[in-house]
Amino acid sequence: KELERSQQEKFAITGRIARVIAHEVRNPLTNILLAVSQFKQGELPTYDENLLYVDIIERNCTRINQLITELLHSTRMSEMNMQYYIVNDLVKKTLQQAADRLQLNEIMVHQNFMLSDALVMVDEEKILIALLNIVINAIEAMTPGKGILSVATELHGDKVYITITDNGAGIPEANKARLFDPFFTNKPKGTGLGLTSTQNIIINHKGAVHVESEEGKGTTFQISFPVHDQ
């Protein structure tokens, strides 16, 4: 009976992945094919019109590419490349990578780094993805021009804590249990893979992710992992 159920669950998950990929990849592909057929008909006289269709192709390719990257990161299969890093540097790099979006949305950033030079042993590329996913969600949850993003690092015992707080929409109680589920999203163009990746990456680093959120007030994500002996 148990085996039967886990088989069924596997089928259910495979079915969901197949449906999402079919939908998420087919939509941009359809757009690309439509744009290509415009070129083939050779009825695009002006440079501007050509550019319009090239933009459509570019945007839709980027979209598929992003989906594939996120899919790969949301699985646990890729290899880990572990090295020592200063926690604060990882957080600063994440904010640098989000700089354009932060600026575009006129978000105020408060930094509170209580760790001076604590070291962690991590896969930098993966940790940056994990943090960036949280920061991007925070940006997307906040009203442009009114957003405040607070980022803090702390050391308690043998663990480092990275806390990312936004004053955005918050998360409805009913959604809290599903946040980390693959493909859970309430965004029209979301993939629902961001937090799945983040959680997998952090778990692979023997860390943990915690969320606190209040609707209408904002959300705090806290990541912890073991600090390396200095």
Distance CA 153, CA 11 (A): 41
Residue 68 identity? I
Q: How far is the CB of 92 from ligand ADP (least distance, A)?
A: 20
Binding-site partner at residue 185 among Mg ion, ligand ADP, none, CB < 5 to 8 Å by type: ligand ADP
Considering only residues 60, 88, 94, 133, which one is a binding residue for ligand ADP as defined by CB under 6 A?
A: 133
Q: How far is the CB of 220 from Mg ion (least distance, A)?
A: 16
Sheet holding 148-156, edge to edge: 108-113, 148-156, 159-166, 218-226, 208-214
* Stretch touching Mg ion by CB under 5 A, among 12-20, 29-37, 56-64, 191-199: 191-199
195 binds ligand ADP (CB under 6 A): yes
Distance CA 92, CA 84 (A): 16
The residue whose Cβ lies closest to ligand ADP is: 194
Considering only residues 147, 182, 194, 207, which one is a binding residue for Mg ion as defined by CB under 5 A?
A: 194
Considering only residues 118, 166, 207, 224, which one is a binding residue for ligand ADP as defined by CB under 6 A?
A: 166
Distance CA 131, CA 194 (A): 10
Kindly report each contact of residues 189-193 with a partner whose C-beta sits within 8 Å and lies 24 or more positions away, as own/partner.
Answer: 191/24, 191/66, 191/67, 191/70, 193/67, 193/70, 193/71, 193/73, 193/74
Interface residues with ligand ADP (CB under 6 A) are: 133, 137-138, 141, 166, 168-171, 179, 184-187, 190-196, 219
